[in-house]
Amino acid sequence: MKWVYSFGDGKADGTAAMKNLLGGKGANLAEMSNLGLPVPPGFSITTEVCSYFYKHDQTYPAELRPAVEAALAEVGTMAQGRLGDAARPLLVSVRSGARVSMPGMMDTVLNLGLNAETTEGLAKLTDARFAYDSYRRFIQMYSDVVLGVEHSLFEEILDSEKEAKGVDLDTELNADDLKKIAGLFKERVHKELGRPFPEDVHEQLWGAVGAVFGSWNSARAVTYRRLHNIPEEWGTAVTVQAMVFGNRGETSATGVAFTRDPATGERMLYGEFLINAQGEDVVAGLRTPQPIAKVVRERQGGKRPAMEEALPKTFAELSAICARLEAHFRDMQDLEFTVQEGKLFMLQTRNGKRTAEAALKIAVDMEREGLIDKQTAIGRVDPSALDQLLHPTLDPSAQKEQIAIGLAASPGAATGEIAFTADEAEKVAAERRDVILVRTETSPEDIHGMHAARGILTARGGMTSHAAVVARGMGRPCVSGAGMLKIDIANGVMTAGKHVLKRGDIITIDGATGCVYKGRVGLRQPELTGDFSTLMGWADSIRHLKVRTNADTPQDAATARKFGAEGIGLCRTEHMFFDEHRIVAVRQMILADEESERKAALAKLLPMQRHDFEEIFKVMEGLPVTIRLLDPPLHEFLPQSEQQISAVARDMGWGFVELRAKVNQLHESNPMLGHRGVRLGITYPEIYEMQARAILEAALNVEAAGGVPVQLEIMIPLVAWKQELDRVKERIDAIAAAITTERGKVPSYMIGTMIELPRAALQAAQIAKSAEFFSFGTNDLTQTTIGISRDDAGMFLTDYLNKGVITRDPFVTIDAAGVGELVKIAAQRGRSVRANLKLGICGEHGGDPDSIRFCHETGLDYVSCSPFRVPVARLAAAQAALASINEVD
Ligand code: PEP
Ligand code: MG
């Protein structure tokens, strides 16, 4: 068993391909060493040692110690020193490194190998101030990370020494001061622990190695792993490397560079450096780093020289290395370097994190530069991140004053006047002013206000709260759960800390970061041309899944088509009933005692519905449109509070008591599972008949007016029995026959069903005998499978996720709770009786990349999602197709 892998001097035991064993950092150091780049020598202890460590009661395999000794000797030879040798002291860094980067999650120790003797030796070889500064830094870091002594205790000592000397800055302390401070630090450690700070350099080394392995199971690392789905078994490697020093004078420096601008993707050496400093100085923020490239300094209007100007030779060397690394890894690199007395050393390289905008540009540019092919380019952009590009964003250069922060619940930025109720929001919007709806939390009664608002801000609720889910669906920016907001609707004010804002005051929210700002902040509109459309074009040529949209209005349909939707997968018809001009007729229809009365009310609704559909069909220009017949329980259309009941009673000429009794009669204790969907279609067949007539006549009218014939799909919700579908189908076919008689023809149409109940999924073979298509309604299917309603799930599921009871939110990802399994069963059983059964999905999951991959693998024909997620779905579908090609390879 090989436990230790060395690197340095233009060679290495490992390669970049060995990340699982050596960690990302160790593997890439090996690769850079193999490329002959200047890398300080070192070695990596493998992740397998980490696994062994945890399996064997925190002990090491017997062969580890000799292997480390041998590797250390080799490092000494290359670096011309020896650990613990006062005449030629070797200092090392000890760092963690998992397969994937877990920034700041695990431990690092620098300057290891210093004790009273070696520090004295180092002072002789270099200079005393440098040596004692390194020593006190080492004691501080080691004590904190390995021995568990509070960092602040050392800061106290440092501060009181500075005060005694009457100086402000660490740099004003001389060698003697630092030597004294190092002594005080050691005394303090002795006092805290009851044993001395280790002078034995090997004890130091094994202490640090143990601390790095131990940090794999620190609370913060465990949390990070859970949030990012990183398996515990992966473990971390430990990389031990000879130290180089960026704090050895004016020809020394330390820095971080990206081979392209990580914010915009522009091709340039982008980054920062500090002369005469160690990496931690940059992090501590005591000194402001300077840009690496001259153009960046000029753009920022900086006075102090860029690295290109201050260290031109080293800059040229660094540029050449960056170009080489980028070409080698075929991706944008994020690297760390140190310059020690004019000599450049590479300390790390990895694929750089980038914004969505940069990811897009880099992917397309690299394809053009011949570095990667189109398929690789498609895989380089995270579909979920595209969301960031499709909404207005905050102008990064705008002045802003932050007043609160919550969850980044739905992307995009929005500015507008504060409204505290949905009605207020609607009123302001009707006057053509921008409005932000601010609520403690939202409920289904707020929908009209959410629709009218530019953005939504709530004080309570998580990522799956009503506000968050609905806002994402509508494409409205949303910040949820901004707990510091206190909202007083009665007085029309909200407070956020010291800020007090009134109804009508302007605020700006950023749904991409969760920040809330006072006043108007400049916005940038999204660009859907250039690189975006290039990459989308590549994605479209690869994917098999069609992408449709959920749209109830011609506006939504038009937005979705602009984003590339290839049809409507779900047109919910109930929203059309809520319109203020229609609701009276809807209520008359619901409250009617006699069928004739009901028919009269429906006759008023028919032309309005027909008009709705005509407008949508015109926008869709012959693409398929799935229209779902009425779904929600009828009480949703009735007034609820006593006040509302009395107002409606007055309007409709009903008695209050009478109306309240009717409302109570229709009240359902669990409306989600109640008298809704096809059940209504069977008990009140006139409703579906009216809707079927409106759809068929609208299609006929659009065609007669010279429009492209629409591909009609009429969809029945909440079916659980084949017989339910048969009943409704008979009625629709009869209406079609009547229209044929009246007008001489009728458009062709398909009738299908939603699969949104577990029973429907299991009965798919029966149902498919009657249904020409299935559309998976995974919103209801998830609720009915896990037995949790979506509106109630918010807080509760967030808590479950935090406690690790579940790792993925079933309302986001289809396969998180067995819902996917039901979809698979239904697809397979349905197609077993009807081979060409068309399959789609129209629940929220249709816009989630993981779920889209699942849909591709399950053989669905299309996914349908909200307009703003259409590009996300196009890219995710392409990546799914590529993944299955690669699996076959
Ligand atoms: C569903 O249940 O997944 C669905 C799309 O219908 P709704 O969200 O309207 O219930
Ligand atoms: Mg549903």
pLDDT tens-digit series, residues 657-715: 999 998 998 888 888 899 999 999 999 999 999 999 999 999 999 999 998 999 999 99
- Whether ligand 1 lies within 6 angstroms of the CB of 512 is answered as no
Q: Please give the average per-residue pLDDT across 106-118, as a whole number.
A: 92
Distance, in Å, from the CA atom of 18 to the CA atom of 783, rounded to the nearest integer, reads 43
Distance, in Å, from the CA atom of 146 to the CA atom of 707, rounded to the nearest integer, reads 75
> Which residue has the least CA distance to atom 4 on ligand 1?
777
Residue 297 has pLDDT above 70, yes or no: yes
> What distance in angstroms lies between residue 826's CA and the mean position of ligand 2's atoms?
16
| Predicted pLDDT at 118 | 97
Q: Please give the average per-residue pLDDT across 392-396, as a whole number.
A: 87
Instruction: Using alpha carbons, select from 857, 725, 718, 832 the residue that is nearest to residue 781.
Output: 718
- Whether ligand 1 lies within 6 angstroms of the CB of 473 is answered as no
> What distance in angstroms lies between residue 685's CA and the mean position of ligand 1's atoms?
21
Q: Name the DSSP class of 528.
A: -
Atom of ligand 1 nearest to the CA of 550: 5
Three state DSSP letters for 748-779? CEEEEEEECCHHHHHCHHHHCCCCCEEEECHH
CB within 8 Å of 767: residues ≥ 6 apart: 719, 722, 725, 753, 755, 760, 774, 830
Residue 462 has pLDDT above 80, yes or no: no
Which of 283-297, 490-504, 582-596, 716-730 has the lowest average pLDDT?
283-297
Q: What is the pTM of this model?
A: 0.82
- For helices 47-55 and 19-34, angle between their N-to-C axes, nearest 10 degrees: 150
Residue 430 has pLDDT above 90, yes or no: no
What Å distances lie between residue 373 and 365, 378, 380, 539, CA to CA? Answer: 11, 9, 11, 12
Distance, in Å, from the CA atom of 429 to the CA atom of 156, rounded to the nearest integer, reads 57
For residue 766, give the amino acid letter: Q
- Whether ligand 1 lies within 6 angstroms of the CB of 33 is answered as no
- Whether ligand 1 lies within 6 angstroms of the CB of 435 is answered as no
Instruction: Using alpha carbons, select from 293, 325, 297 the residue that is nearest to residue 312.
Output: 293
Which of 78-82, 99-103, 261-265, 880-884 has the lowest average pLDDT?
99-103
Ligand 1 site-directed mutation target among 780, 783, 865, most atoms within 8 Å of CB? 780
Q: Please give the average per-residue pLDDT across 298-326, as a whole number.
A: 94
- What is the pLDDT confidence band of residue 464, given thresholds at 50, 70 and 90? low
| Predicted pLDDT at 356 | 85
- What is the pLDDT confidence band of residue 283, given thresholds at 50, 70 and 90? low
| Predicted pLDDT at 384 | 86
Query: End-to-end alpha-carbon separation of the chain, Å?
Result: 31
> What distance in angstroms lies between residue 139's CA and the mean position of ligand 2's atoms?
62
Distance, in Å, from the CA atom of 4 to the CA atom of 13, rounded to the nearest integer, reads 9
Residue 421 has pLDDT above 80, yes or no: yes
Residue 667 vs residue 419, higher pLDDT? 419
> Which residue has the least CA distance to atom 1 on ligand 1?
777
Atom of ligand 1 nearest to the CA of 844: 3
How many CB atoms are located within 10 Å of the residue 697 CB? 22
The mean pLDDT value of the chain amounts to 92
- Whether ligand 1 lies within 6 angstroms of the CB of 813 is answered as no
| Predicted pLDDT at 329 | 97
Atom of ligand 1 nearest to the CA of 572: 9
> What distance in angstroms lies between residue 595's CA and the mean position of ligand 2's atoms?
27
Q: Which ligand ends up closest to the CA of 864?
A: 1
| Predicted pLDDT at 447 | 82
Contact 262, 270 (CB under 8 A): yes
- Whether ligand 1 lies within 6 angstroms of the CB of 783 is answered as no
Distance, in Å, from the CA atom of 458 to the CA atom of 440, rounded to the nearest integer, reads 5
Contact 702, 710 (CB under 8 A): yes
852: helix, strand or coil: helix
Q: pLDDT tens across 37-63, in order?
A: 999 999 999 999 999 999 999 999 999
Q: Please give the average per-residue pLDDT across 809-819, as a whole number.
A: 93
Residue 285 has pLDDT above 60, yes or no: no
Ligand 1 site-directed mutation target among 464, 466, 570, 573, most atoms within 8 Å of CB? 570
Q: Could you give the percent of the chain with pLDDT greater than 70? A: 98
Distance, in Å, from the CA atom of 15 to the CA atom of 673, rounded to the nearest integer, reads 58
The two beta strands, 435-439 and 455-458, are parallel
Atom of ligand 1 nearest to the CA of 780: 2
Tokens of 763: 């009965």
For residue 763, give the amino acid letter: Q
Contact 140, 185 (CB under 8 A): yes
- What is the pLDDT confidence band of residue 620, given thresholds at 50, 70 and 90? very high
Distance, in Å, from the CA atom of 711 to the CA atom of 749, rounded to the nearest integer, reads 7
Which of 121-130, 464-473, 483-492 has the lowest average pLDDT?
464-473
Residue 593 vs residue 543, higher pLDDT? 543
Q: Which ligand ends up closest to the CA of 572?
A: 1
Q: Which ligand ends up closest to the CA of 630?
A: 1
> What distance in angstroms lies between residue 288's CA and the mean position of ligand 2's atoms?
55
- Whether ligand 1 lies within 6 angstroms of the CB of 636 is answered as no
- Whether ligand 1 lies within 6 angstroms of the CB of 122 is answered as no
Q: Please give the average per-residue pLDDT across 288-305, as a whole number.
A: 88
Atom of ligand 1 nearest to the CA of 777: 3
> What distance in angstroms lies between residue 297's CA and the mean position of ligand 2's atoms?
55
- Whether ligand 1 lies within 6 angstroms of the CB of 778 is answered as yes
- What is the pLDDT confidence band of residue 888, given thresholds at 50, 70 and 90? low
- What is the pLDDT confidence band of residue 282, given thresholds at 50, 70 and 90? low
| Predicted pLDDT at 448 | 84
Residue 889 has pLDDT above 70, yes or no: no
For residue 539, give the amino acid letter: A
Distance, in Å, from the CA atom of 520 to the CA atom of 523, rounded to the nearest integer, reads 9
Give me the active site residues, please.
Answer: 466, 842
- What is the pLDDT confidence band of residue 472, given thresholds at 50, 70 and 90? confident
- Whether ligand 1 lies within 6 angstroms of the CB of 572 is answered as yes
> Which residue has the least CA distance to atom 8 on ligand 1?
779
Distance, in Å, from the CA atom of 293 to the CA atom of 279, rounded to the nearest integer, reads 19
Tokens of 218: 């620190």
> What distance in angstroms lies between residue 167's CA and the mean position of ligand 2's atoms?
69
| Predicted pLDDT at 302 | 83
> What distance in angstroms lies between residue 551's CA and the mean position of ligand 1's atoms?
12
Q: Please give the average per-residue pLDDT across 332-337, as a whole number.
A: 95
Q: Which ligand ends up closest to the CA of 785?
A: 1
Q: Could you give the percent of the chain with pLDDT greater than 90? A: 74
Q: Please give the average per-residue pLDDT across 203-220, as a whole number.
A: 93
> What distance in angstroms lies between residue 780's CA and the mean position of ligand 2's atoms?
5
Residue 462 vs residue 851, higher pLDDT? 851
- Whether ligand 1 lies within 6 angstroms of the CB of 779 is answered as yes
> What distance in angstroms lies between residue 844's CA and the mean position of ligand 1's atoms?
8
Ligand 1 site-directed mutation target among 571, 576, 627, 631, most atoms within 8 Å of CB? 631
| Planar angle of CA 252, 263, 509, nearest 5 degrees | 125
| Planar angle of CA 33, 278, 9, nearest 5 degrees | 15
Q: Which ligand ends up closest to the CA of 552?
A: 1
Contact 786, 806 (CB under 8 A): no
Atom of ligand 1 nearest to the CA of 779: 3
Ligand 1 site-directed mutation target among 568, 755, 756, 822, most atoms within 8 Å of CB? 756
- Whether ligand 1 lies within 6 angstroms of the CB of 756 is answered as yes
Residue 284 has pLDDT above 70, yes or no: no
- Whether ligand 1 lies within 6 angstroms of the CB of 88 is answered as no
- What is the pLDDT confidence band of residue 224, given thresholds at 50, 70 and 90? confident
